[in-house]
Amino acid sequence: MSDSGGILALDLGTCTGFACAPPGGEPVYGHVWLPSDRGDGAYFNRFRGWLLDRVTVLAPRLIVYEAPLITATATSVSTVMRLFGLAAHTIEIAYAREVRCEPANNSTVKKFVTDNGRAKKPEVMAAIRARGWHPENDNVGDALAVMLWAESKWAPKVTRAAGPLFGVTA
């Protein structure tokens, strides 16, 4: 991957976190809240419009989203539908805009940034803050973690420190 365009990383959910930067560059990051009380149509319409805008403004060459994680104890049918729907919209928008799109496994990302595939949210946030970034919530922190992992996979010549395995401690 060349340094132009950059990587747009997404942590999909009702509060979707995002981070975007050219490999090794300083990221732009933030979040968007999706309306959870106005039905699925409003939920997906808001996400689709927001993501189309982000792709237009940020012009990424790669979109990487945290793959939906379904657990037996904490996930309703509605949540499953919304998580997979957000992933499907992401894939469709990337295709329409001719942007490469890839999923990121949650445990793999956690292992990369904290050296622990079962790390909890505070550990991930600490690892991200150790890099000098100040995400406003854990959704943004997760998006930054996905971005770091994606850089290591698709832009391996980047020399950004990647976590405890590489000499940075949280």
Tell me the two tokens of residue 131. 């890099």
Residue 169 clears pLDDT 90, i.e. is over it: no
Q: What is the distance between the alpha carbons of residues 39 and 46, in angstroms, rounded to a whole number?
A: 11
Q: What is the distance between the alpha carbons of residues 131 and 163, in angstroms, rounded to a whole number?
A: 9
Instruction: Tell me the domains of the chain and their CATH numbers.
Output: 7-166 (3.30.420.10)
pTM, two decimal places: 0.90
Residue 163 clears pLDDT 90, i.e. is over it: no
pLDDT tens, residue by residue, 58-101: 999 999 999 998 877 767 888 899 999 999 999 999 999 999 99
Q: Provide the 10 A C-beta neighbour count for residue 166.
A: 12
**3-state class percentages of the chain: helix first, strand second, coil last, to nearest 5:** 45, 15, 40
pLDDT tens, residue by residue, 98-130: 999 999 999 999 999 999 999 999 999 999 999
For residue 11, give the nearest of 27, 24, 26, 30 by alpha carbon.
30
